[in-house]
Amino acid sequence: MSQPLPPVTILLCTANGARFLPAQLASLLEQSHADWSLWISDDGSTDGSRAIAEAFRDTHATTRDIRLIDGPRQGAAANFMSLLCHPDLPGGLVALCDQDDVWHPDKLERAARRLAAAPRERPALYGAQSVHVDEALRPIGASRPPRRAPRFANALTQNIVSGHSAAMNGAALSLVRAAGPPAGIAYHDWWLYQLISGAGGAVLIDEARVLLYRQHAVNVLGAHRGARTRLRRLAMVFGGEYGRWIDAQSAALGQAGALLTAENRAILASLRAGLGRGPLGLPHLMRAGVHRQSRAGTALFYLAATLGRI
């Protein structure tokens, strides 16, 4: 007889998401893994999001542990990190939740099953795929699994674990809390991939599509396909924005260096030594072995570094 799956704490951040929040909350109630509690951090919404969250909490108060707290009002990354590092958050499995998505019924079960199968003492981060939809939930595309295995040398240059699908075990949560809220990072999910892989943890990639990822004007980054997106990303790279992200993320990792493996501390040091130095930095970057998932992406990274844009 199989063991019951462990409980999961869902961490939902809201910020003026009233238009789409009810659909996401309804999808949580349809989860096949029903042993979950919910923490909602509202980041100063003025559109009724907090009232929706309060009504949901009150409606299910007798059957669910649902907590509503105030976010730090410093953006999505800071809001999620404040939840992960909240002193009252219980240990065990946690799953991140975006306000404007819709979860498939087996989303939470798949994450809990994969994480429960991992060694309890080793930090483990789970990520899955999504169906990209428009604001009316009509499919317009889908994410794809990464081509190469997750590793720290990849995490330093890109994120492959989207926050809307991310979940982690208790050991990973303890690691995140030991590092504390990182200062100045661009993306919380990228940080989780970097920190957990850097500490020698497991990164578990599910090839299944487990949620509807809504694309609209207020998406922070959005899907990764299309000519317009590629042009925008090129502008980010050669305009220096991507390089500033890498600098901020890697600087925060340096502050958590004691939590990384010795090998990964050396990789991070080589990366930091090569940033912003143009051709003179290439030997350091190549020694670090940093790379993106595709050969073209890796070549673009080194070209941008040569030109001093990273």
CATH number reported for the structural domain that contains residue 60 in this entry: 3.90.550.10
**How far is Cα 116 from Cα 264, in angstroms, rounded to an integer?**
26
pLDDT, position 217:
61
Buried b (16+ CB within 10 A) or exposed e, 170-202: bbbbebbeebebbeebbbbbbbbbbbbbbbbbb
Q: Which of 214, 237, 268 is the last residue of a domain?
A: 214
Q: What pLDDT, on the 0 to 100 scale, is given for residue 220?
A: 47
Domain contains 59 = yes
For the chain, the distance separating the N- and C-terminal CA atoms, rounded to the nearest angstrom, is 53
The Cβ of residue 146 has, within 10 Å, a number of other Cβ atoms equal to 18
Q: Kindly state whether residues 126 and 235 are assigned to the same domain.
A: no
Same domain for 166 and 284, yes or no, is no
Task: Report the greatest alpha carbon distance in the chain.
Answer: 63
Distance CA 284, CA 290 (A): 10
| Residue 36, beta-bridge partner list | 8
Name the domain boundary from 186, 214, 242: 214
pLDDT in tens, 134-156: 999 999 999 999 999 999 999 99
Same domain, 236 and 109: no
CA distance 4 to 89: 22
For residue 67, being part of any structural domain is answered with yes
Letter for the amino acid at 44?
A: G
202 and 266, same domain (yes or no) = no
Residue 245 and residue 204 share a domain: no
The answer to whether residues 19 and 158 belong to one domain is yes
The whole domain housing 237 covers: 227-306
The two structure tokens encoding residue 92: 């065990």
Please indicate, yes or no, if residue 86 is contained in any of the structural domains.
yes
pLDDT band at 244 (very low <50, low <70, confident <90, very high): very high
**Residue 111, in any domain of the structure:** yes
Same domain, 46 and 137: yes
Q: What's the rounded Cα separation, in Å, for the pair 114 and 103?
A: 17
Phi, psi of 140 (to 5 degrees): -130, 0
Residue 60 located in a structural domain:
yes
Total domains present in the chain: 2
How far apart (Å, rounded) are the C-alpha atoms in residues 79 and 259? 23
Tokens 């081509």, located at residue: 147
Same domain? For 183 and 246 the reply is: no
For the chain, the C-alpha Rg in angstroms (whole number) is: 19
- Based on the domain organization, do 156 and 271 belong to the same domain? no
pLDDT (tens digit, 9 = 90+) per residue, 180-235? 999 999 999 999 999 999 999 999 999 999 999 999 764 545 555 567 778 888 99
Is 2 inside a domain boundary? no
Q: Are residues 297 and 177 in the same domain?
A: no
- Quick check: pTM over 0.75? yes
Judgement on whether residues 193 and 290 belong to the same structural domain of the protein: no
Among 192, 214, 236, give the residue marking a domain's end.
214
What value does the mean pLDDT take over residues 291-299? 97
Other CB atoms closer than 10 Å to residue 95's CB: what's the count?
26
How confident is the prediction for the chain on average, in pLDDT? 96
What confidence tens digit (pLDDT) does each residue in 31-59 have? 999 999 999 999 999 999 999 999 999 99
Question: Any bridge partners for residue 131, and if so which?
Answer: 142, 212
